[in-house]
Every structure is written in structure tokens, then in C-alpha cells.
Structure 1
Amino acid sequence: MSIIKLNAIDSTNSFLRELIASEQIADYTVVVTQNQTQGRGQMGTVWNSQASKNLIFSMFKDLSVHHVAFPFYISMAVSMAILQALKTLNVPNLAIKWPNDILSANHKICGVLIENVIKNKLNSTIIGVGLNVNQVDFDGLPKASSLKNITGIHYDLDDILNEIIKQIKYYSEMLQAEKYQEVKTAYEANLFRKNKPSTFKNAEGVMFPGFIKGVTKYGKLMVLLEDENIKKFDLKEVSLMY
């Protein structure tokens, strides 16, 4: 494993993707930057971050040596790794908002962007993480917060990075050992608003009530509707209102 530190970059995911296209790199290679100018989130959203205050990194994970039949297990494993790392810091009220945002209470503190590399089969993955750590101002983002805002503590970014890497390795080894159900059970146990009355919005903008019951192995959200039927939704098909 190696850690590449950059002062500034457009996107750590893009940098790592270009790197693996040009040379062979070690498993768990990490690219971390103090300032990301064009950070990306799920479905093309933008991830804005104040320079030097947050933890922004991407990790290369080699999957050529073992078989992951359902890529969403990678997302579940990474979500659990970050959540467990934050638990070691005593961050309160942690939960995973489907598919892989990390919340403390109702505030988003971490986003994850996973980009899989397929060469005949799932060959490797790039795990991009943006964790709000020491930033305290989030103008225009009422649902965003940071570790410092929540706990009042100023954190060392390297310490948090090392703990997250440790946890990602642990959960990656669980996948390699084919402990898929254990990972899924842990993920679902930490799902935000699971089994609580919630409001959703579909792709047409129509609001409807339901209860989150879990996820499928393909990553679809399972929602119990008013008619007592469970409907499965893809990421582009539904939003949780909170």
C-alpha cells in the first residue's frame, strides 16, 4: 500500500483512474489531496470542500484475485468501514443514508463515489471518499455538517485516514472470505430511517409515504408501501425526503 499526497487536484478519482490506466499500482493505493477543485458525487453532483479542512481521498482496490458477484456489496462494505472508523472517534448518531452517504443525526458528513473498472469481469474499483472534518461553515447546505461541528473537536486528518484504511481492509477481507450476508446485515442495521415512517419522492416528483425495509443484493432500496407491498427502487427512481 502507498499513499500519494497532493496539494490540489481536480478529482482524486479521476487522477487514480488515469494512474491505473498507465501503470500497475499496488492494492489499496491511496491518493489524498488538500484541495479538490472538481469533486464529484453520486449522479454527477458536485462535492465542494474548503481546502485543507476535510479528508478527500480515493483508494484503488484490486478485485482481480477474487470474485464479487454483486458490485453493491463493495458499496455496503465501504459504508460500514467509514461508519466503524467514525465510531472509534465517538461521533454520535451515525447512520448510512442509502446508498452510501454517512450521516450524524440528520446531517450529511460524508459522501462516497465508487467507480468500478470492468475488464471482462469486475477487475478493480476506485473508492472516492469526501469526509467533512474541520470545516465549520456550510453556506446554502443546511443538511451538511462536519465532525468538528458535531463534536467540537479539531481532528488530525492523517489519523482519520489511517483508521478508515484499516476498516476498509477489514471489510474487504470479509468480502474476500465471501461473508456477504454479514456485510449486508450490518449495512441494513445501520440504514437511516429503516422501519420508520418516511416520505419519498419518485422520478416524476410525486411524494408518497413508506417504510425502508432493506436493500437487495443489486443495491435497490426496498420500501414497504401503503398497500402493504414492497417495491424496489433504483437510485434514479426515488429520493428520501428528510
Structure 2
Amino acid sequence: MTNLSSSMLSTIKNLYSNKCIQRSSLPHELINYLLTLEFIKFKNDSVCGSFSDNMKLLENDVLLRNLGFQFIKYFYSIDSTMSHAKKIADNYSKAIIFSEVQTKGRGRARRIWLSPPGGIWLSILWQIERKELLEILSLAIGVAVVNALKKLLLIDFKLKWPNDIMFSVKKIGGILIENMFKDDKVLSIIGIGLNVNNKMRFSGLQGVISLSEILGFNMPRNVILKAIALEVARILEKTGVEDIIDLWRKMNLTIGKKIAVKINHLVVEGIVLDISPRGKLIIEDSKGKVWEISYGDVVYLEGIEYRPIL
């Protein structure tokens, strides 16, 4: 299902299974990235990993501390990582909370988000210093997640406006942003849900998939979670708005497609022309009217299997 050769896919599987791999068989970019994430060491001419699926180990992770996270908390089960982040928002400017299971996980418009064992259910609390990011925050986090997955797996994932992480025509994850304003400070709670080792073909949902179903093997979630945290920090601290919009355009599968967007009781149908410099979706309808849409539910996108449950 991927664009990787069978030999490279097998090499990546062995690497993330903690088998030592000949250094020459791995791309330099992947080796350097895993060194940054502190998951590999060299043994003669081989690269040897120390990957784990035990996310509780990350509570004491040095890299996460160095990224500025003052509070790092693992739960086996929690009602919602978003709700917990909101509870601690008065005490921290940067925090990260993740859980094996959410009993009351939620998506956009307070829809239920299925959060079974095997996925990554993550909330990042982040004080936004660059206020110009607020309008495009969902797009920015999407870019960060796709960057992390591509660097780890050498596979192109895509973005569907406004907040879906996609593999081909199916959804693999989503993003939820809630902002809190206090005095002159803005704290964003960034919720990220990613199907990793959970089996979505049994979920009863249309057009969804997990990483393990794409790859054919389970992935250690610790390396994915750290990569997402690193890419989120990089994009929020160092990447300009224009660059984020350009990156989103390169990763998107929305522009140029037929679309239907539900905005309250109105449905706008047409062709997606572009996104604006502020992240709004630009649609031309059948009468030639051009709409700029800042929010809404994409109830149809040409060629995409995933449909939200409204």
C-alpha cells in the first residue's frame, strides 16, 4: 500500500523492531533524524535501535524536557487528554499529555473520537507567543504531523482541509485546537489523534485506516510521539506563516477538487481554488461566486473515502 520498495519496507520494519541494520542500507536523513530523537546508536557499520511502545517511559524523556515541556504525563486511561490539559493550564506554559485510551475523546463540534488501545491520543498545551499563528494553527499542526511521519517512514502522507491527516483516500488522524485567552496570554490546547497500531477496519467507520494497516507491522509509538512533539515545537517556534501555508499546499489533497462544505445549515459546493494567506478555503461555486471559508465540515471531497459522522 506504500510507495516504498518491499526491501526498504522490510529494512524499516527490522529497524523499528530493534534489529541492527547495515548503515549503508538506510538513508542518511533517516539516520540523522533518529539520532536527533535519541533512539539509535552505531555498532561498527550497523545502526541499532532502542525503540519502545511503552509510552510511560517518555515521562522522563530528556528531549521532551529540552523542548520546553514542563509537564509530561502518561495515563493508561483518561476521559480526555484535552480536558486534562485545560485543568492544568494555569500552572504551565508548555505541557504534553498522552494516554493509551480515552473514554470521552472528542473531535470537532464535540463529536465522539474513538480512542482505543494502540493509537496515539495526545494533547499539547502551548503558550502562543506569535499571535499571527492563531488563524492557521490547525494547518500548522497538520504540517508538523505529516513532517514527523514522512521523516520516520519515508512515506508521503497528505492533509485535508481543515484538520485531517490522510493516507491516500483514507483518514489516519485528526487535529483539534482549543484556545484559552487570559490577560495578554494565549494558551492553545492542541489535540492530536493518530491511528497507529489499532485496527480501524473493525471500527465500522468509513474511509479510515491505521499505520499498522498501511505498513503491515506495528510501530513503536514512542518514536512517533517524540517526532510529533519535535515537529510541533519547530513549527510553532521557527516557521513563518507564509512558509507554513506553502508547506500545507505541497502536502494537501484538497486544492483542485470538487467539495461540499457544511457551515451550520448552509452547504457550499464547488471547486477548491486555493487557501488564502490566512488559511481560509477558497471555493468557486457553479454560479462563479467565490467563497472564503474559515470553518466548516467537509461532507464531500472528490476522490476521498472518508466521511465525517455529522
Taking structure 2 as the reference length, the TM-score comes to: 0.68
Match of 1:54 among 113, 119, 124: 119
Report if the CA contact (8 A) 1:216-1:222 is conserved.
Answer: no
The answer to whether structure 1 residue 214 and structure 2 residue 283 are counterparts is no
Match of 2:255 in 1: 194
Alignment of 1:31-110 (within 5 A): 31-51=97-117, 53-63=118-128, 66-69=129-132, 71-90=134-153, 92-110=155-173
The answer to whether structure 1 residue 153 and structure 2 residue 217 are counterparts is yes
The answer to whether structure 1 residue 139 and structure 2 residue 200 are counterparts is no
Give the strand-richer structure, 1 or 2: 1
- How far has the Cα of 1:44 moved from its partner? 1.3
Letter in 2 for 1:17: K
Letter in 1 for 2:89: I
Aligned residue for 1:57, secondary structure, equals: strand
Q: Distance in 2 between matches of 1:236 and 1:26?
A: 29
Report if the CA contact (8 A) 1:199-1:210 is conserved.
Answer: yes
Q: Distance in 1 between matches of 2:116 and 2:297?
A: 31
Aligned residue for 1:40, secondary structure, equals: coil
Report if the CA contact (8 A) 2:159-2:253 is conserved.
Answer: yes
Q: Distance in 2 between matches of 1:26 and 1:77?
A: 19
Q: Distance in 2 between matches of 1:207 and 1:182?
A: 28
Letter in 1 for 2:260: F
Match of 1:10 among 73, 79, 85: 79
Give the helix-richer structure, 1 or 2: 2
Classify 1:50/1:91 alpha carbon distance in 2 versus 1 (closer, same or farther; 3 Å).
Answer: farther
Report if the CA contact (8 A) 1:91-1:104 is conserved.
Answer: no
Identity %: 26
- How far has the Cα of 1:61 moved from its partner? 0.6
- How far has the Cα of 1:172 moved from its partner? 1.0
Q: Distance in 2 between matches of 1:26 and 1:205?
A: 38
Give the aligned length.
Answer: 231
Q: Distance in 1 between matches of 2:115 and 2:153?
A: 23
The range that moved more, 122-131 or 186-195, is 186-195
Post-superposition CA distance 1:26-57 (Å, at most 9, x none): 52x11111110000101111110222x00111
Taking structure 1 as the reference length, the TM-score comes to: 0.86
